[in-house]
Copies of this chain bind each other. A is one copy, B any other.
């Protein structure tokens, strides 16, 4: 392949974010693409980005941290990075060849030079939608799977509550819980999402938290027996309402707290003494710790999808120009299902 320089549209961070992020914190610019062939002797690969994922945790990376955070800060002027699905267009690495479909960390741009291709995974089920590797077959899927099975340790018949339940992770947790034989109820921020939970994902019930004046009372109504497992995606007031409604020896898998990410001062949670009296276990986890189980997960999840046992709803915007708004939309709840950006046709 000839080493031609082509243009490379990219999304950069314009400035560090305080409080609620806006589209203006990012900028879509035309850059110069990396060489379309890797330099001789290099073990790098060049990829064409097909799909990129929009994830709430990216908000954390848009702030400058004095003490290093659990993920690296983005740098103003530099391209955003996150998980995506890519096609190898040039490879100096023995494990990858031109045309390979892979997923892993890439740039929010058309073409990316990846110096450490060991971080990439081959796509083993290209018969499924490739975009699924940003979601149900990618990190959100592994997050749901590892968090639910490894942290919640569910038993058949248990009562499961999931917040942000129609999101990238929540919809999978709910369906895994149903497969496990649990009774599953989810909350979401619109009636449309609530319908999705009930009709599409087979939740036993679901409610629109924005329509509940008293979340504690709502949970009492939906869980008269109490909650065995709470899959925590939102934090703040929801967590506070959940705690008194937990059953003895209940488990809370703390996956994320999206309601808190844009607050300068996080909300206070007052009901923690229930952790003592109800002998609760609240445990945080990050999917990075569970990479080791990815292949087992990928095979199991692909089989569920092919058997129709798990379905997945995506919210796909087309083109990098739409990427900043798609990312911001996660925090207003604009997305229905997993938010991602289709960057290029294969």
Contacts and interface: CB of A to CB of B under 8 A. Distances in A.
A129 to B, nearest CB: 29
B289 A285 contact: no
A282 B279 contact: no
A169 to B, nearest CB: 12
A235 B269 contact: no
Contact of A269 (B255, B269, B274, B286): B269
Contact of A282 (B257, B267, B275, B286): B275
A273 B286 contact: no
**Chain A interface main SS type:** loop
B284 A235 contact: no
A7 interface: no
A284 to B, nearest CB: 4
Contact of A268 (B69, B267, B273): B267
A260 interface: yes
Contacts of A126: none
A4 interface: no
A286 to B, nearest CB: 6
Interface in A254-285: 254-257, 260, 265-285
Contacts of A283: 275, 279-283
Given A281-B281, A281-B283, A284-B276, A265 B257 contact: no
A282 B256 CA distance: 16
What class of interface size applies to chain A in its complex with B?
A: 20 to 34
A280 B239 CA distance: 16
A285 B279 contact: yes
Contacts of A278: 70, 284
A271 B279 contact: no
Contacts of A279: 283-286, 289
Nearest to A67: B244
A236 B282 CA distance: 17
B276 A257 contact: yes
Interface in A210-259: 235, 239, 254-257
Given A265-B270, A269-B268, A269-B269, A286 B281 contact: no
A249 to B, nearest CB: 9
6 contacts: A254-B276, A256-B276, A266-B272, A280-B284, A281-B284, A283-B283
Given A255-B276, A269-B272, 19 more contacts: A70-B277, A70-B278, A256-B276, A260-B273, A265-B270, A266-B270, A266-B273, A267-B268, A276-B285, A276-B286, A277-B284, A277-B286, A279-B285, A279-B289, A281-B281, A281-B284, A282-B282, A282-B283, A283-B283
